[in-house]
Chains A and B, each alone.
Chain A
Amino acid sequence: MFAAASPLLMGLSVSSHTKAFGFPILTVIVAIPAISAAVMFALPKAMEKAAQWLAFAASLATLLCAAILAFRFKAGPTGYQFVTKHWWVKTFGISWNLGVDGISVFLVLMTAFIVPIVLAGTNVTENRRSYAAWMLLLEAACLASFMALDVFLFFVAFELTLIPAYFLIAAYGQGRRGFASIKFFIYTLFGSAFLLVAILVVAFSYQAKTGHLSFDLIQLSSLHLLSTSTAKWLFVAFTIAFAVKAPIFPFHTWSPDAYEAAPTGGSVALSAIMAKLGTYGIIRFDFALFPKATVDLAPIFLTLGVVGILYGAIVAAVQKDLKRLVAFSSLSHIGFIVLGLFAFTSQSITGGILQMVNHGILTAGLFLLLGMIYERRKTNKISELSGLQKAAPVLAGTFTLVMLASVGLPGLNGFVGEFLILIGTFATHRWWAVVATSGVILAAVYLLWAYQRVFHRKAEGENAKVADMSWRERAVLLPIVVAIVFIGVYPRPFLSRITPTANAMVKRALIVGDAKVNQTVTGFNTTITHQAQQGKNNPDPLIKSAHNSVAQNIPAKNNKEALAK
């Protein structure tokens, strides 16, 4: 394949044991929801009930495959695993090219984990068949985006997510759904416009250098294709698309409208799954294609991340609608992820990636809970809710747990990610980390305040009569609660798979990118990079070193047993 020794390919090559798993599991993971969606559109209306069951079964089958994938995923190597590649449009060098590494494998798992919960936990009043079909199509498109190693394939899957999301909002939403769906669509399309042109420029630069056109990510990132200034422009073009999708601070205005107008399932899909496409795109494509430009322009995005953290948190505090509140809190949390990614240390990137998974699980939980409140009270306005705790103690309790995880309470999953991000960022960008930390406090402010207003106080009128969670609703939220606690207490299985990829990424940026980072890296980070460089050919010490360093640098009082291992 490619020479593994080349620093350009570090962490980007295809792992050698790829062939061991003959079954094209990645294609299957995309195909199950995609084909089921197509079948469901074709089913007659009379079979609506069957269609719903089919959708749920399909999403469970996808989850099963994703779980098998996660278990078979080798923790050591840094390259892509389970790669499948077939020509799609040979004229343009476009291929059906899928593969997962330590970043994408968990996003795939998270997507596959959330969709069955959404299908089981949300309901729409009419045309349920299409609703489930759109949801599955959205899942397929997101999964394909997460696994695509072909830039073109990524782009089409990335764009395809708009269609189901548009229909979910426009046809099943509430309030200003027409406005919100169009705003969301146009905004995202605007970002993608730059992405498409930038992708073409990269591909044709490759053609100019090698003589053939290719959209293969590994091939495109294996050469120094671009001059520094071109790379910067292209980096900006790519990142605008991802920033809109994520959303990162100044590009976020579509998201409160869309989250508010979407049905519960749509909000979950938008915030938990689709938003990750943005941050994922930054890691996968910006870091791989323009490592130097990413490092050079990182301060801008670090700043945007911090602004997003604070701005999102402050604006969330004054929202009158719970869904908008979660939307802005989401902006704040995405800010943390951005901070982690652009701080360019092993911990911060590991934390950023883990936080992507965490954020998905947490917002899914929050939006599902808000959906349950909406079903009972037909409103999410804070002013009309009060004292729900009395009538619905289980609902309140579950909300508390999810909320505390979102605030970042130790022992729950939000803490692990945010802590790694902050500690990693502190090493290279001290002041950004210091300011960002206040976001954690602000999160406690707006969430606890909202909780107080909605669940405490005196229950009046309808609020006193709300039903508690049904068994079905408890069953729906149980997996989310389990995941929150599990990741909070025992993140090792996740970290051990993410860290090698994150290490390789930092290392590649250091070598290919800019030596500047090397100088600013202080303390334990230098150790990591040194150790990482020494252990280039042997992945195992790499993990160990990463874990040791994580362990060494986490104060003992906060140190969960999992991290210590």
Chain B
Amino acid sequence: MNLGVVPTLALVVPKINYWAILPDLILIGGALAVLALSSLTGRRFPAIWYSVSTAFLALATLGSALYLWFDITGKHHHAFVAIDAGIAVDGFSQLITMLVAATLFLVALSAPGYLRREGAGGPEFYVLSMLSASGAVLMGSANDLIVMFLGLEVLSIALYVMAGSNLKAIASGEAALKYFILGAFSSAIFLYGIALTYGSTGSTNLASIANYLAKNLLEHNGVLLAGAALMLLGFGFKVALVPFHAWSPDVYQGSPTPSVAFMSSVAKAAGFAGLIRVFYSALPTLRLDWQPVLWVLSVATLLVGSVLAVVQTDVKRMLAYSSISHAGFILIGLVAANPSGIAGSLYYLFTYSFLAVGSFTVVALVAGKGDSNHSLASYRGLSKRHPYLAAAMALMLIAQAGIPFTTGFLGKFYVLAAATDAHSYALALIAILSSVIAAFFYLRLGVLMYAPDGGELAVAPAVASGSASGSAQAGSASSAAATALAGTELLDAEDELLPVTRKGSWFAVPDDRGGDPILDDPAMAGSGVALVVSGDEAISGEVVNGPGAVGELRAPEIIDVPSSEKAGRDIGAAISIAICCTVTVFFGVFPSMLIDFAKQAKLLF
């Protein structure tokens, strides 16, 4: 094949099938329309309209993807390529689109509460999330490496801005910078990988690459392998595979929590969609080369993710490492490299995004104003203060731990079945054992929420059982130091917090067993008393000095909203969490529909 001669052709504009890219059009058009409208009207719309319109657009995207899904899975129809074979409209791409749209919908519902707490009412968050989602959709349906790169960049650049969108928090800026620099670096590497792949196969089209490799045996495939490796690195960065994961805990910790909810599921879905399409569709002939590499990456990701999550004291960092470990699971499907493996990965991605959004939404609510209470200690006794919130969090954690009758278990089962089918018994065993390690930190959070005095293991393992309250004290004191800044901020906001009422919040159902009289009393709470609530005995309290202790104490109360906006303050978040919980349990008990959905989401090639 003579690659040296560049044919001189007039630029031919391909015929554009607008139906095929309808979901993308809705997202991009919607984003621009919202942006334009808000600029033209001078932000006169109440902030809630941005959320509602984004949710509506997300549903429209979901509907259009569903339409395309039924179109291509119907009896006389089949998947097709569009726009000069740059876009593949197949079950796979439509499933990714639906996943992204569903995540967008949930985040759009839960964001307004957060934005209002932070005093940021503008449309930027929604516009950026829609643009980012359009990039993810593009990545999911890309049938060409250039289109893939386009999607990756649209997805990423919007995410960088979302990570830094909390202008008040230094951590947010740090997260954005870190994410941007590393992300830009990985994009460049990815692009170089595309170039090398193009150089050795003569095409950027995935189907052409696969065809070319199927028909020709490369005598020296070093360049192609290097290209594949660099592309793997690019994707690996996006989905946070070990060893390309270092950015993720920092970015998760620093970014605004709704942005984290969004990126943890959308970026992961898009990255895996690209990874699967490139390696499974375009490079199946190299399988024997990439399979062992992915095996190693998968094992490393599983183990590093779960082991490092155990030692985290910040819930967002913990969930970041847990999401790394989940990435390891999703990768198993691709390592298995059989159709049921791909279906398993898709199923895992789909159900995991609900879990991620659900848990991060709870985290955002617990974090309260300032988005700062992420220490494990903020969750101490949550079940007493906010039973529904605690129950939702417990469900999300149980599902992530892979306990039956949740989608989390079936996801693990699906990929493990694929691995067993491919005779990768060792991988299956390592994966399931790593999920046992992971169960530890999910359970630890559960114990903190449900057994505040019995959770001494959770914060200070060395302390003997006799001094439960003492160790709890130590726990809160140590994390108090970490959140000292938060403490002072909270004190500043005290005036706004005082009129808090339990009835004001959707979650804070009045607790007639009378959770904790002192905690309930804002006047007492303001006086710097740190409390340890013990299950059946009386409440023991101890005065602790320092603003951090106050921050610890006040943390939970901030979930309740100021009385001025009692009604409906967090209804959006509540609906979002409720949807996540419902999906998790319903499809955990009646799994057939979703499992077959993932099975039908086949790749075109």
Q: Do A and B bind each other?
A: yes
Q: Number of A interface residues, CB 8 Å?
A: 46
Which residues 125-175 in A have Cβ within 8 Å of B in the complex?
125-127, 155-157, 159-160, 162-163, 166-167, 170-175
Which residues 415-473 in B have Cβ within 8 Å of A in the complex?
416-417, 420-421, 425, 428-429, 432-433, 435-436, 439-440, 443-444, 446-448, 450-451, 454-458, 465
In angstroms, Cα B444 to Cα A91, docked, is 35
In terms of DSSP, what is the predominant structure of the interface of chain A?
helix
Q: Is B165 an interface residue (CB 8 A)?
A: no
Which residues 291-312 in A have Cβ within 8 Å of B in the complex?
none
Closest CB in chain A relative to B516 CB, distance in Å: 12
Query: A126, B536: Cβ atoms under 8 Å?
Result: yes
- Known contacts A126-B536, A178-B455, A190-B433, A91 near B592 by CB under 8 Å: yes
Interface membership of chain B positions 216-242, coded 1 if the CB is closer than 8 angstroms to chain A and 0 otherwise: 000000000000000000000000000
Query: B454, A179: Cβ atoms under 8 Å?
Result: yes
Interface membership of chain A positions 175-201, coded 1 if the CB is closer than 8 angstroms to chain B and 0 otherwise: 111110110011001100110110011
Q: Is B413 an interface residue (CB 8 A)?
A: yes
Q: Is A46 an interface residue (CB 8 A)?
A: yes
In angstroms, Cα B429 to Cα A261, docked, is 31
**A residues less than 8 Å from B457 (CB atoms):** 176, 178-179, 182
Picked from B401, B404, B413, B536, the residue with its CB within 8 Å of the CB of A125 is B536
Query: B451, A178: Cβ atoms under 8 Å?
Result: yes
Interface membership of chain B positions 508-524, coded 1 if the CB is closer than 8 angstroms to chain A and 0 otherwise: 00011100000000000
Interface membership of chain B positions 365-400, coded 1 if the CB is closer than 8 angstroms to chain A and 0 otherwise: 000000000000000000100000000000000100
- Known contacts A182-B440, A197-B428, A201-B425, A163 near B592 by CB under 8 Å: no
Closest CB in chain B relative to A275 CB, distance in Å: 20
- Known contacts A159-B403, A176-B456, A186-B443, A89 near B592 by CB under 8 Å: yes
Name the residue among A125, A126, A170 with the largest chain B CB count within 10 angstroms.
Answer: A170
In terms of DSSP, what is the predominant structure of the interface of chain B?
helix
Closest CB in chain B relative to A96 CB, distance in Å: 11
Q: Is B496 an interface residue (CB 8 A)?
A: no
In angstroms, Cα B444 to Cα A193, docked, is 19
**B residues less than 8 Å from A197 (CB atoms):** 416, 420, 425, 428-429, 432
- Known contacts A181-B443, A200-B416, A193 near B450 by CB under 8 Å: no
Which chain B residue has the least Cβ–Cβ distance from A233?
A: B425
Query: A166, B446: Cβ atoms under 8 Å?
Result: yes
Picked from A125, A126, A182, the residue with its CB within 8 Å of the CB of B447 is A182
Query: B417, A92: Cβ atoms under 8 Å?
Result: yes
- Known contacts A156-B409, A181-B443, A197-B428, A173 near B454 by CB under 8 Å: yes
**B residues less than 8 Å from A175 (CB atoms):** 454, 465
Query: B432, A196: Cβ atoms under 8 Å?
Result: yes
In angstroms, Cα B592 to Cα A186, docked, is 29
Query: A193, B454: Cβ atoms under 8 Å?
Result: no
Interface residues of B (CB under 8 A from A): 383, 398, 401, 403-405, 409, 413, 416-417, 420-421, 425, 428-429, 432-433, 435-436, 439-440, 443-444, 446-448, 450-451, 454-458, 465, 511-513, 535-536, 591-592, 595-596, 599
The 5 closest A-B pairs by CB, nearest first: A156-B404, A178-B454, A177-B454, A178-B455, A200-B420
Not counting A159-B409, A181-B454, a sample of 5 additional A-B residue pairs whose C-beta atoms are within 8 angstroms of each other reads A171-B535, A172-B535, A178-B454, A197-B432, A207-B421
Provide a sorted-by-A list of 28 A–B residue pairs whose CB atoms are within 8 angstroms: A45-B511, A89-B591, A90-B592, A156-B405, A159-B409, A163-B398, A163-B403, A171-B451, A176-B457, A177-B447, A177-B535, A178-B448, A178-B451, A178-B458, A179-B454, A181-B443, A189-B439, A193-B432, A193-B433, A193-B435, A197-B416, A197-B425, A197-B428, A197-B432, A200-B428, A203-B420, A204-B417, A204-B420
Interface residues of A (CB under 8 A from B): 45-46, 87-92, 125-127, 155-157, 159-160, 162-163, 166-167, 170-179, 181-182, 185-186, 189-190, 193-194, 196-197, 200-201, 203-204, 207, 261
